[in-house]
Structure 1
Amino acid sequence: MRSLVTFIFLYACELWTLTAELQRRIQAMEMRCYRKTQHISYKDHVTNKEVRAKTQQAIGPHEDLLTIVKRRKLQWYGHVSRSSGLAKPILQGTVKGGRRQGGQRKRWEDNIREWTGLEFGKSQRAVENRGKWRKLVVKSSMLPQRPSRFRD
């Protein structure tokens, strides 16, 4: 799975806004791939936890797709924020006016705020120190989004 499927799947993942539904779909796709590579059907009544354990035993320790997506998104944010290209003003730009009324849709920068725990302005300053930002990326991408009981 790591050789081909992962790279195709992760194409432009830095630009995704990770909603709860998208995270669930990423995890489901990953489990489908693990089951296919190990020839385990859902009819066999093998739990996801057992499938992950067999996968870990077969290929060794590895990051799940959701962790990779989070890490790549945070790394890209740091890269663009330190650059002086066109992507920086586009990323930091805002549109005049407020957000729509009612339940708010999740925005791209909402993911960054959730994972790092920093407001947008503070994260812009944190990005300037590459060493600290790298440590924050590793720590933030490893945090579970939901309790593990919902993942298996």
Structure 2
Amino acid sequence: MEMRCYRKILHISYKDHVTNEEVRAKIQQAIGPHEDLLTIVKRRNLQWYGHVSRSSGLAKTILEGTVKGGRRQGGQRQRWEDNIREWSGLEFGKSLRVVEN
């Protein structure tokens, strides 16, 4: 996903035989030092999680999974709290206590 964005910024088609290393070097020259796209997305998601978990609204109720209802048909989907657990290295309950402090 990140390389696709970089190629669009630089107007490089996939038909052009340009390696990913060359694309990264050109991006480095064009915009200078920068964070990876995935790092930015993870950081912003964790910031939003902290914001919502400190509030007391509908978003927090939905995030905690206390809404009544059944489950959908099909395979198990990745949940928001699974990402939080993976990125922060803390269990969901512990991360809620850390955010509130």
TM-score band, normalised by the shorter chain?
0.7 to 0.9
2:62 corresponds, among 87, 90, 93, to: 90
Question: Which residue is equivalent to 2:21?
Answer: 49
Question: Which residue is equivalent to 1:4?
Answer: none
* Paired letter, 2:81: E
Question: Which residue is equivalent to 1:107?
Answer: 79
What are the ranges of 5 or more consecutive residues in structure 1 without an aligned counterpart? 1-26, 130-152
1:37 and 2:22 are equivalent in the alignment: no
What are the ranges of 5 or more consecutive residues in structure 2 without an aligned counterpart? none
Cα distance 1:70–1:42, how it changes in 2: closer, same or farther (>3 A)? same
Aligned ranges for residues 1-150 of structure 1 at < 5 Å? 27=1, 30-94=2-66, 104-129=76-101
Computing the radius of gyration over CA atoms, which structure comes out larger, 1 or 2?
2
Equivalenced residues, count: 101
- Runs of 4+ aligned structure 1 residues displaced above 6 Å come to none
Give the 3-state SS of the residue equivalent to 2:34 in structure 1.
coil
| 1:70-113 Cα deviation digits (max 9, x unpaired) | 1111101101111123322222133679x78x963211111101
Instruction: Please give the TM-score of this superposition, normalised by the length of structure 1.
Output: 0.55
Q: How large is the Cα RMSD of the aligned pairs?
A: 2.5
Shift of 1:35: 1.9
Shift of 1:58: 1.0
**Greater relative contact order (Cα < 8 A, sep 6+):** 1
